[in-house]
Amino acid sequence: MKLRLSFHGGAGTVTGSRHLVETDATRFLVDAGLFQGLKKLRELNWKKPAFDPEHVDFLFLTHAHIDHAGYLPRLVKDGFRGPIYCTRATFDLAQLMLMDSAKIQEEDARYANKKGYSRHKPALPLYTADDAAGALGFMEPVDYGEWLEPAQGVRARFLNAGHILGASMVEVHLETGERTIRMVFSGDVGRYDMPLHSDPDPLPDCHFLIVESTYGDREHKSAPIEEQIGEALIDCIERKGTVLIPSFAVGRSQLVTLCLRQLIQAGRLPDVPIHIDSPMAVDATRIYSRHIKDLSLDDSLNDDGRIRLFPNNVQFHRSVEESIKLNKMPGPRIIISASGMLTAGRVLHHLKRLLRDKRNLIMLSGYQAPWTRGRAMIEGKRTVRVHGQDVPIKAQFIPISGLSAHADRSELLKWVRSAGSSQEQPDTVFVVHGEPKSANAFAETLTKKLGTRTFRPNLGDSYDLIELLDS
Ligand SMILES: [Zn+2]
């Protein structure tokens, strides 16, 4: 009997999640993410995978983030033809994310051709909008908790992982003759007691756990969000400034809007206009609203029998014309725009304009990577370069923490422990989807606190699970 697990991405790094399971009867993938970040990682997207996509029978997609789903169009282009199972909300968000990703790939190729810096002539996109549409055609949305039988001897279901709308962990049962081997793939694990997404479901009893470790070496120590933003926000509104909140379009923008609604409802913030200025955030917000019953939101958000996420005065700006109108609107108001790390997008136009006036306030939410404008501001630089100009930083700015969609070390441990008694905790844990420092730290934590056997696979590593189970 054969049962092999191999790691073709998201191992030793936080992007490119792709885990392959092979038995005598079938072969399937969990996630097909894009490698992102540094060039040497991005180049991996162009390498032929070590498995043949044509011979993969089906795929479980844990959630719509690009580092888990963004390779799907290429996989289908290279011959994968099986069903892609995912939750209904993931299906809705994946349409948005994959089409956007294809647009970026096409723009990158166009830009490389214009500048002539590609080794390939002409430079081709990794995939196109047609390829993305092709991949979407293979998606089969299912309900949380619904047992699937994608191949003989394989049963699986999606459980709620919190994190972002639709995010799931996958529980897989594999019949191997006399015994059933149970595996759980965590996907990305969300946080506990967060305003927008519900807590992750408890970890089911399993032999093998494949767990992410993005924040495996850190704690998100932070004061409640209202405390962090309340005072600075009110001061800015009182001096008739504009508040700019650069934010990821999916998940973060909705969480920020919900926090603002709670402040307004509690009478702590005046009812100022709030603008969501990013076509993707506008679309994602609509999808969130549509799936609102899956979010297990607090009853106090129930309004006239309808649950609403947002304050009354939220305005959506989808088109460029609608966005440009914002330039002429004086404060006080709040603008939420993408991207979250000030790397690209409409937020840059607002940044350029708003940074020069000390009445304004910029709120940076979440992690700011080392090479970004967001990081430059945190490090106390006096100017940032936007659209070729050095713009002086006169506006006030504060970083807000605690809005991460990822569990920190304690929360990851809490989730692994949620499996119940020590007999029910996983025999073996593969720690993936983290930089080596985080993955090592979390693996050590698991060994120390739970006595679990852990592995930290690298790219391309492969394990015989039957042998492991019997050893
Ligand atoms: Zn994610």
pLDDT for 305 equals 42
Assess contact for 203 and 184: CB atoms under 8 A. Answer: yes
CA 212 to CA 316: how far, in whole Å?
A: 34
CA of 432 to the centre of ligand 1 (A): 13
CA of 37 to the centre of ligand 1 (A): 15
State pTM to two decimals. 0.91
pLDDT for 306 equals 45
CA of 254 to the centre of ligand 1 (A): 15
CA of 23 to the centre of ligand 1 (A): 28
CA of 163 to the centre of ligand 1 (A): 7
pLDDT for 118 equals 66
* Weakest-pLDDT range from 223-232, 242-251, 273-282: 223-232
pLDDT, tens digit (0-9, with 9 covering 90-100), for 329-345: 998 999 999 888 888 88
CA of 247 to the centre of ligand 1 (A): 15
CA of 447 to the centre of ligand 1 (A): 25
What is the distance in angstroms between the CA of the first residue and the CA of the last residue of the chain? 16
CA of 302 to the centre of ligand 1 (A): 28
CB-neighbour burial class of residue 121 (10 A; exposed 0-12, middle 13-18, buried 19+)? exposed
β-pair type (302-303, 333-337): unpaired
CA 316 to CA 273: how far, in whole Å?
A: 11
CA of 88 to the centre of ligand 1 (A): 16
The residue assigned the tokens 């081997």 is 181
The one-letter amino acid code at 185 reads: F
Assess contact for 215 and 239: CB atoms under 8 A. Answer: no
pLDDT, tens digit (0-9, with 9 covering 90-100), for 26-70: 999 999 999 987 888 889 999 999 999 999 999 999 999 999 999
pLDDT, tens digit (0-9, with 9 covering 90-100), for 161-192: 999 999 999 999 999 888 999 999 999 999 99
Name the nearest CA neighbour of 282 among 303, 310, 301. 310
DSSP at 327: G
Per-residue pLDDT averaged across 131-152, rounded?
A: 97
CA of 136 to the centre of ligand 1 (A): 19
Q: How confident is residue 303, by pLDDT bands cut at 50, 70 and 90? A: low
CA 103 to CA 133: how far, in whole Å?
A: 12
Q: How confident is residue 423, by pLDDT bands cut at 50, 70 and 90? A: low
CA of 372 to the centre of ligand 1 (A): 20
pLDDT for 140 equals 98
